[in-house]
């Protein structure tokens, strides 16, 4: 399925915040989690993910630290802040409203189509 760039861009920050609410993570692991959650439909690139992470960090929603992995490679780990948790809750409320609104119009349209309206 080809998902529009606008929809991917709009959902990127809430997705990253939600993934980080599961615990601290790093870029590659976040990309893999997005792919896993989407059944492989969303395949983010570094060029898509890192600007989102940097913006979230600038806004105080995530904090980052450098550390070494078990294999010895340096990685930048991100974690959700208290402000980020509040932003995630706000994003969840907004997305629920959009979801319920779309479902309302789509299912109403289907009902009308079935009734020949």
CATH number of the domain bearing residue 17: 1.10.10.10
Domain count of the chain?
1
Gyration radius from the chain CA atoms: 18
pTM score: 0.87
Q: Which helix (H) or strand (E) holds 18?
A: helix 5-21
Structure-block tokens of residue 19: 């993934």
Range of the domain at 110: 5-114
Q: From the first residue on, what is the mean pLDDT of each consecutive set of 10 residues in the chain (117 residues)?
A: 91 98 97 96 94 98 93 93 98 96 82 61
């Amino acid at each position: 399925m080809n998902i529009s760039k606008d929809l991917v861009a709009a959902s990127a920050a809430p997705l990253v915040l939600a993934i980080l609410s599961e615990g601290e993570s790093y870029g590659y692991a976040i990309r893999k989690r997005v792919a896993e959650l989407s059944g492989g439909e969303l395949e983010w690139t570094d060029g898509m993910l890192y600007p989102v992470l940097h913006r979230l960090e600038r806004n105080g929603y995530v904090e980052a630290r450098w550390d070494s992995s078990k294999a010895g490679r340096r990685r930048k780990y991100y974690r959700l802040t208290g402000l980020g948790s509040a932003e995630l809750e706000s994003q969840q409320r907004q997305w629920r409203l959009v979801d319920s609104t779309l479902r309302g119009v789509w299912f109403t349209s289907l009902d009308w189509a079935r009734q020949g309206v």
